[in-house]
Amino acid sequence: MQVIVDMAKCVGAGACVLTAPDVFDQNEDDGKVIVMISSPDEARRAEVVESCNVCPTMALSIQD
């Protein structure tokens, strides 16, 4: 599982960070997302899927 981010879409809402704190973080300069684990293991699938769902701008997606 690969996490794909569209940086142009991210508005720094941090919803992904709250949902999957080990996978995502936020940049100090503009609050935008940082992917800390770009290929999370399967055990994290549920929280990564939920992060994609809570992201208000559809900036996140998963590629298998």
Partner 1 sequence: MTEIINCPVAHEREVRQFPFDRPGCPMEPSGTYAELRSTEPVSKISLRLNGREAWLLTRFEDIREMLSDPRFSADMTNPGYPLQFEFPMELIGKVKPALLHMDPPEHTKNRMMLMPELTVKKVASLTPRTEEVVDECIDNILELGKDGTPVDLVEHLAMPVPAIGMAEMMDIAHEEKELFTRWVTLLVTQGDGEEHADLNMRVEMLLYKLIAERSVNPGDDLISTLTQRNIKAGKPLDDSEVSALVRAMIAAGHESTVNGIAIGCMVLLNHPEQAQLLRDKPELSGPAVDEILRYSSISDHGTVRVATEDVVIGGQLIKAGEGVVCSLSAGNHDPAVYDNPNTLDLTRKEARHSLAFGYGRHMCAGQTLVRMQLQTVFTKLFTRIPTIKQAVPLEELPFKSFYQALIDGLHALPVTF
* Interaction site with ligand SF4 (CB under 6 A): 10-16, 32-33, 55-57, 59-60
Q: Is 44 a residue that touches partner 1 (CB under 8 A)?
A: no
**Whether 38 contacts 1, CB under 8 Å:** no
Binding site partner of 60, from partner 1, ligand SF4, none, Cβ cut-off 5-8 A by kind: ligand SF4
Count the alpha carbons within 13 Å of 44 in the hemisphere toward its beta carbon.
Answer: 20
The residue among 4 and 18 lying less far from partner 1, judged by its C-beta, is 18
The angle at the Cα of 49, spanning 43 to 54, to the nearest 5 degrees, equals: 135
Binding site partner of 36, from partner 1, ligand SF4, none, Cβ cut-off 5-8 A by kind: none
